Amino acid sequence: MSQEIRQCVIAGGAGGVGGMFADLLEGSGIEVCIIDINPPSVRRQFKKCDITVPTPQAKDMIQKADMVMLALPENAALQAVKVVGSLMKPDSLLAHTLSVQSPIFKRIHALGLPFESIGLNPMFAPSLSIAGRPVAVIVQNDGPKGSHLIQMILDWKGRPVLLEAEEHDQLAAAMQALTHAAILTFGLALAELDVDIAKLSSLAPPPHATMLALLARISSGTPEVYWDVQSVNHQAMTARATLAEAVGSLDESVRDKSVFIELLRKSREVFGNEIALYQDLCTSIFEGPIAPKEGKHSQTNHPG
């Protein structure tokens, strides 16, 4: 039984995250094949089909693969698990790149799939380099191929962070659902205020310009990606409700200066011993002038 990954099938490999992993794996000498309804942007072995209804050629590729990666939206991945699981060889590895881990974790457990399985959630846009950036790693059924994959992430200079499925989803609700909700509600509020964006841009101090930049990134991104973040994670609703309550608390606090000061203290305590790190990060972000530059910019299909 080989402990290494030599052949990999990536379902959804024409997308941003799947394409990123295809490039990284090929760079490590692994033979990669893409199964997708759309052709990949980079020329590589490719079979066009719906992964939930694989063609005979796609089935053959899955049966031979040492690893099958599902780089798909949540609903598609949940549908694909049973089909793919029935074709994979017993000593292979099932990997998936979902932004919410608990549902597929439960699905794999319910199906009683016998092989190794691991979840990967890169916490950055796939257009960026993996070097120095975190990848959430959720090991469900461990083994040598999963260890090989984690080692490759280290070899690519990525930072694997091992988590449990529920723990991942709780953190994702704070890191992604809450963050995106705060930025989108900021945009909705701006729309209601009906301000002149040209004048706003000419005057915007660094915090506001940064918020505008984040709003531009998210509101111009792939809607389905951000929909998944808000709708699939069962803890996202709690994050949004907490955000709404926090706005109400802020509104109440302006009636009493001591209450407002307490609100700032409570917000500051979130950081614990990490506050200096983030104070320095803010300083480094704001060191130079923050203003929009002319030119074309690529969009992301990852909820970064």
Q: Say whether pLDDT at 218 is over 80.
A: yes
pLDDT tier for residue 2 given thresholds of 50, 70 and 90: low
For 125-147, what is the mean pLDDT?
95
pLDDT bucket at 297, cuts 50 / 70 / 90: very low
Q: Mind spelling out the 3-state secondary structure of 200-268?
A: HHHHCCHHHHHHHHHHHHHHCCCHHHHHHHHHCCCCHHHHHHHHHHHHHHHHHHCCCHHHHHHHHHHHH
Please compute the mean of the pLDDT values over residues 212-229 and round it to a whole number: 90
The rounded mean pLDDT for the chain is 92
pLDDT-based confidence at residue 106 (cuts at 50, 70, 90): very high
Q: Is the pLDDT of residue 298 over 60?
A: no
Of all residues in the chain, what percent carry a pLDDT higher than 70? 95
Assess whether pLDDT exceeds 90 at residue 271.
Answer: yes
What DSSP string runs through 48-74?
ES-TTS--HHHHHHHHH-SEEEE-S-H
Model confidence pLDDT, tens digit, residues 19-58: 999 999 999 999 999 999 999 888 889 999 999 999 999 9
Give the pLDDT confidence of 162-208 residue by residue, as tens digits.
Answer: 999 999 999 999 999 999 999 999 999 999 999 999 999 999 999 99
Distance CA 285, CA 291 (A): 12
- Which residues touch 34 (CB under 8 Å, ≥6 apart)? 9, 10, 13, 14, 18, 22, 40, 44, 45, 46, 47
Q: What pLDDT, on the 0 to 100 scale, is given for residue 112?
A: 94
Q: Phi/psi at 185 (nearest 5 deg)?
A: -70, -35
pLDDT grade, residue 301 (50/70/90)? low
Of the given ranges (88-92, 282-286, 288-292), which has the lowest mean pLDDT? 288-292
Which pLDDT score is estimated for 43?
Answer: 87
Q: Which fold, 7-163?
A: Rossmann fold (3.40.50)
pLDDT higher than 50, residue 160: yes
Mean pLDDT in residue range 121-136: 95
Confidence class for position 253, pLDDT limits 50, 70, 90 = very high
